[in-house]
Chain A
Amino acid sequence: MNRRLSSVTPYALLAPAFIVTLFVLGYPLLYEVVMSFRHMDLRFLDTGRFIGFKNYVMLAHDPLLWKSIINTIVITVPTVALEILGGLAIALLLNREFRGQSIVRTLLIVPMLLTPAAVALIWNFMFWTDNGMLNYLLSLAKLSGINWLGDPRVAPIAIIISEVWQETSFVFLILFAGLQALPQELPEAARVDGASWWQELTHITLPFLKPVMLVALLFRTMFTLRMFDKIFILTEGGPGNATSTLSIYLYKKFFYFFDVGYASAVAWLLVIITALIGFIYMRMMWSEVEI
C-alpha cells in the first residue's frame, strides 16, 4: 500500500466522528464560555453585550446558587453512598451458585434500563399522598402518611429514593462483574485457614473490588450531579427551592428568567465540577487500557 496514503488514512477515518463531535459538543461548549461573559436575553436571541466577569461575580453572591450547590450535594452524596452499599450487598448475596441465579440477576437489573422519565412517573404514583402505595404500606404499619413531594424536608429524600431504586442495579452489575473475576483460590484458601465470613470480606473481597468500586463511585457521582429528568418531573425543584439542584437552577435561569449569560456561567460551573471527577476517572481508566 502507498505509504503516504496509509499515513493519512487513520486520520481520515477518525475525521467524521471528530467533525460531528466538535461541531455539536465542542463548539457549543466554547460558545457557552463566550456567552457567560455577556448579558444576553433569551427573548431577543441577539449576541447581547460584553460585561466581563459580572455574571461570575453575581454567581458568588447569589444565595440561590449556594442553595442549589448545597441541594446538589445533599442529594448526590446519600444517593451515591446508598447505591454503592446496596449494589455491593446485592452483588455479594448473588455471588453464589443456585438455580435461577440468572433470572434473579435479570430481574435485579430491570430498573437500570427503564426510561428515567417513566421511573419518575412510577415513583410519582408511589408517592401519591392520598391513595399512594407508599402511604398505604405505612398505614399497614400503623404509621401516618407522608406528604412525600410536598414537604420540603421530605422531597429530597423522595428524589433520592427514586434515583437509588433505579441506579443501584448499575452499581450491582459492575461490582458483580468484578466479583466474577476474583480468583476462586483466594477465598477458599482463607476459609481453609479458618477465616470468618467477615475477615474474608474485609481482607480479600473488598480490597480486590476496590478499583471497580472506585469506577462505580466516580461514574455514579458524575451522573447524579447532573440529574435533571427525575427532579424536574417529580418536583420541578420544589417545594420552594428544596430540590433545586445546579441543573434545575440553570434551567430556570435560562427558561424562566431568560438570563442566558448567567445560566451559561452556572452551566460552566457544572462542567468544571464534572470535569474534575471525569479527569480522575479517565486517569484510572487510561492506566488499564492499551492504546
Chain B
Amino acid sequence: MSRMLHHHGRARTSNRVASTLGRVIAYLLLALMVVGSIFPLVVLFLTSLKARIDVLAYPPVWIFKPTLDNYRNILGTGGATGGEIIAQAGGTSFQTFFTNSVIVGTVTTIFSLLIGSIAAYSLARYNFKGKKGLAFALIALRMVPPIAIVIPLYIMAARVNLLDSKLLLILVYTSLNLSFVVWMLRGFFIEIPREVEEAAIVDGATRIQAFFSVLLPLVAPGLAATAVFTLIQSWNEFTVAYILTQRASRTLPVFLASFAQTEEGTYWGEIGAIVSLVLLPIVVFTLMAQRHLVKGMTMGAVKG
C-alpha cells in the first residue's frame, strides 16, 4: 500500500495526509460536541448517587461509593430530609406531582388524538370551501406564546373556580397541542391511498367504520409517534402549569422549579435524583419515536 502511494507521486500523498488530518479533526470535534451535550446531565446524575459528604466535596470527586439514599429520601422511604424538601416545594409527596403529571399528560394525549384525528381526516380527505383558511387559522393559533395567554386564562379560570384543577391544564394543553396533532396526522393520512378506504366502503362498511377499522390501524406508527410527542409536550410544560396551579394540581416541572436558586448546595443530591426521575420516561419515549422527530418538531416544514 505504501509503495503504491509512493508510485503515485508526492502530490497525491500530501493530499491524502491532509484529508486524513481533516477527518481526525472532524471526529475530535464531534467527540467534543457529544461530551459537551451530555456532560452536564451525567454530572448531575452522578451527584444523585452521592452521599451528602461527596456532594459537597471540592474539588468534585469522580470515584465514590454510590448510594440510593437521595432516591429514598425523595420517594419518601428515607429520613426527614425528603419530607422537608417536598414540604418546601409545597407538596405532600413526589408521588402526588408524578401522578398529576401522568394524569394531565395521558388525558391531554387522548383528547388531542381523538379531536385531532377527525380534524386531520377532514383536511386530508375532503375538498371544501374555506379549507385553506381554516387550516391556516388552526396553525396560526399554535404560534401564540403560552406566557401571553395565561393572564386572561387565569382571570377567567378564577371566576369559574377552575384554577388549580387538572381539567384546566388538560384543556389548555389540548388546545396548545391540537394544531400540531392535526398537522402530523394529516401528513400520515395523506400517505395512505384513498382506495384503501374506498374498498372497505364498497364492501359495505360505513365511512366511520372505514376510518376506525381500516385507516387508523394503517397509520398506527404515526399515531403512536404523535401520541409520544403530545405526552412529552405536556410532561415538559412549565409556564402554564406554574401560573394556573397553586397546590393540588402542580406537575413535576413546577416541583422542579421550587428548587430554583439553591446555591447552598445542601440538596443537590436530592435534586439530582428528582431530575433523573423526571427525565427518565422522556428519554425512553423519544428514543421510540425518534424517526418522526424532525417532521414533528417543525410541523412538517422540514421533511424528516
Contacts and interface: CB of A to CB of B under 8 A. Distances in A.
Contact of A114 (B279, B298, B299): B279
Given A28-B153, A236-B261, A18 B138 contact: yes
Interface stretch (B77-85, B213-221, B233-241): B233-241
Contact of B271 (A6, A20, A125): A125
A177 B294 contact: yes
A35 B145 contact: no
Interface string B113-140: 0011011011100101001101111111
Interface stretch (A53-61, A74-82, A199-207, A274-282): A274-282
Contacts of A115: 235-236, 238, 252-253, 256, 278-279, 282
A9 B37 contact: no
Interface string B194-235: 000000000000010000000000000000000000001001
Interface in A98-135: 98, 104, 106-111, 113-118, 120-126, 128-131, 133
A234 interface: yes
A291 B131 contact: yes
Contact of B275 (A104, A122, A130): A122
A137 to B, nearest CB: 10
B43 A126 contact: yes
B63 interface: no
Interface residues of B, number: 102
A139 B149 CA distance: 45
B302 to A, nearest CB: 5
Contacts of B27: 98
Contacts of B235: 115
Contacts of B11: none
Contacts of A222: 143
Contact of B256 (A117, A247, A263): A117
B31 to A, nearest CB: 9
B178 interface: yes
A26 interface: yes
Contact of A108 (B33, B59, B137): B33
Interface in A234-279: 234-236, 247, 250-251, 254-255, 260, 263-264, 267-268, 270-271, 274-275, 278
Interface of A: 1, 6-7, 9-11, 13-14, 16-18, 20-21, 23-26, 28-29, 31-32, 35, 40, 42, 45, 89-90, 93-94, 96, 98, 104, 106-111, 113-118, 120-126, 128-131, 133, 136, 139, 149, 165, 169-170, 173-174, 177-178, 181, 197, 212, 215, 219, 222, 225-226, 228-229, 232-236, 247, 250-251, 254-255, 260, 263-264, 267-268, 270-271, 274-275, 278, 281-282, 284-286, 288-289, 291
11 contacts: A18-B134, A108-B33, A113-B286, A117-B238, A131-B265, A139-B59, A177-B294, A178-B302, A226-B146, A236-B260, A284-B301
